[in-house]
């Protein structure tokens, strides 16, 4: 790291911010077919294994929106826009849009150090790291194609704000690609060294904007969650 690190709340390596059970989940858009919300950091998208991981975004939303179904996921510690379907036909339609890469995904991330580039494409295949789950790893031979477009939005002495536009949707793709560039995301307890984990009170990754086509009228919808940082 270069420069003097800006003061920030400190956490220990491995600590996580947990979304309080009574925390409101902001609704960004709702109609008869789709529901879009701003998922808080520290909340699973879907239930995990075991009763201690039953609390999740879908479970909290289904009490107010019965039958809503997940279309895509965000990591537990990633905040931001997530869209759910409210009926089976909309779920099929939206799922195909994600599968065929016909959605536009824009993330914001604060990363360590200051990149020398203004824009870059990272094209590095990913697969599970079988020796260190749940980590993913770059593997040019056995990995699945993974591609991310990156633009530097702001520079500070020891960190930078990036816009990340994943063209594929691999698990941990943005976290691994930033670490590959030598600019791990602040607060990333899987891919950053301890001092960079401790430089932020949470994973500084936010799903800022999502562009889809509405499953009924086919018109594009841009769903946006204000940046929490």
pLDDT in tens, 109-157: 999 999 999 999 999 999 999 999 999 999 999 999 999 999 999 999 9
- Find the mean pLDDT for residues 1-12: 38
pLDDT per residue as tens digits for the range 165-188: 999 999 999 999 999 999 999 999
Q: What integer pLDDT is reported at residue 213 of this predicted model? A: 98
Cβ atoms within 10 Å, residue 73? 17
Domain ranges of the chain: 27-224
User: 33 vs 7, which has greater pLDDT?
Assistant: 33
Residue 19, class by beta-carbon neighbours within 10 Å (0-12 exposed, 13-18 middle, 19+ buried)? buried
For residues 91 and 87, give the distance between their C-alpha atoms in angstroms, rounded to a whole number. 6
Closest CA to 77 of 134, 145, 149, 6: 134
pLDDT over 70 (residue 164): yes
CATH annotation of 27-224: 3.30.2350.10
Where do we find the tokens 């077919």? 33
**Which pair of structure tokens corresponds to residue 191?**
């891919």
For residues 104 and 213, give the distance between their C-alpha atoms in angstroms, rounded to a whole number. 10
Catalytic residue check, 139: no
- CA dihedral defined by 42, 148, 109, 138, rounded to 10 degrees? 60
Tell if the pTM clears 0.85, that is, is over it: yes
pLDDT over 60 (residue 9): no
- Compute the residue count for the chain: 229
The CA distances from residue 138 to 93, 95, 135, 176, in Å, are 31, 26, 10, 8
Give the active site residue among 38, 75, 77, 188.
75
Percent of the chain with pLDDT strictly greater than 90: 86
């Amino acid at each position: 790291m270069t420069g003097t690190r800006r003061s920030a709340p400190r956490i220990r390596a491995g600590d996580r911010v947990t979304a309080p059970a009574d925390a409101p989940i902001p609704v960004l858009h709702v109609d008869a077919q789709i529901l879009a919300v701003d998922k808080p950091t520290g909340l699973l998208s879907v239930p995990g294994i075991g009763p201690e991981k039953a609390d999740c975004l879908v479970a909290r939303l289904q009490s107010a929106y019965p039958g809503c179904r997940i279309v895509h996921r965000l990591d537990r510690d990633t905040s931001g826009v997530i869209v759910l379907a409210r009926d089976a036909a909309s779920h099929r339609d939206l799922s195909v849009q994600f599968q065929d890469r016909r959605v536009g995904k824009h993330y914001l991330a604060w990363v360590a150090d200051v990149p020398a580039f203004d824009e870059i494409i990272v094209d590095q295949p990913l697969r599970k790291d079988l020796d260190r789950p749940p980590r993913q790893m770059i593997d040019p031979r056995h990995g699945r194609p993974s591609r991310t477009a990156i633009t530097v939005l702001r520079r500070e002495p020891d960190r930078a704000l990036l816009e990340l536009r994943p063209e594929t949707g691999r698990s941990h793709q943005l976290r691994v690609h930033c670490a590959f560039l030598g600019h791990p995301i602040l607060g990333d307890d899987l891919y950053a060294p301890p001092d960079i984990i401790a430089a932020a009170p949470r994973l500084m990754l936010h799903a800022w904007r999502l562009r889809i086509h509405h499953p009924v009228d086919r018109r594009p919808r841009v769903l946006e969650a204000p940046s929490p940082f």
